[in-house]
Amino acid sequence: MEALVNRQQDLFLALYRIVLGLLFACHGAATLFGVLGGPQGEAPAFAEWPGWWAALIELVAGGMVLLGVAARAAAVICSGTMAYAYFVVHQPQALFPIENGGEKAALFCWGFLLIAVLGPGRWALSLLRAPQASLASPQPDQPSTGLPRPS
- pLDDT(126) > 70: yes
Quick one: which of 9, 6, 10, 20 has its CA closest to 122? 10
Q: What is the pLDDT of residues 1-26, one digit of tens each?
A: 788 777 888 899 999 999 999 999 99
Q: What is the Cα Rg of the chain in Å?
A: 17
Residue 134 has a pLDDT of 47
What are the start-end ranges of the H helices in the chain? Answer: 2-7, 9-33, 51-67, 71-84, 97-100, 103-118, 126-129
Residue 38 has a pLDDT of 82
CA distance 36 to 41: 14
Residue 99 has a pLDDT of 95
Cβ atoms of 47 and 53 closer than 8 Å? yes
Cβ atoms of 63 and 25 closer than 8 Å? yes
Residue 79 has a pLDDT of 98
Cβ atoms of 135 and 121 closer than 8 Å? yes
Residue 1 has a pLDDT of 77
Q: What is the pLDDT of residues 25-83, one digit of tens each?
A: 999 999 999 898 888 878 888 989 888 999 999 999 999 999 999 999 999 999 999 99
Quick one: which of 120, 116, 91, 119 has its CA closest to 105? 91
Cβ atoms of 57 and 78 closer than 8 Å? yes
- pLDDT(149) > 80: no
Residue 5 has a pLDDT of 73
Quick one: which of 84, 109, 110, 87 has its CA closest to 100? 87
Residue 2 has a pLDDT of 80
How many CB atoms lie under 10 A from the CB of residue 137?
10
End-to-end alpha carbon distance in the chain: 14
- pLDDT(143) > 80: no
**pTM summary value:** 0.79
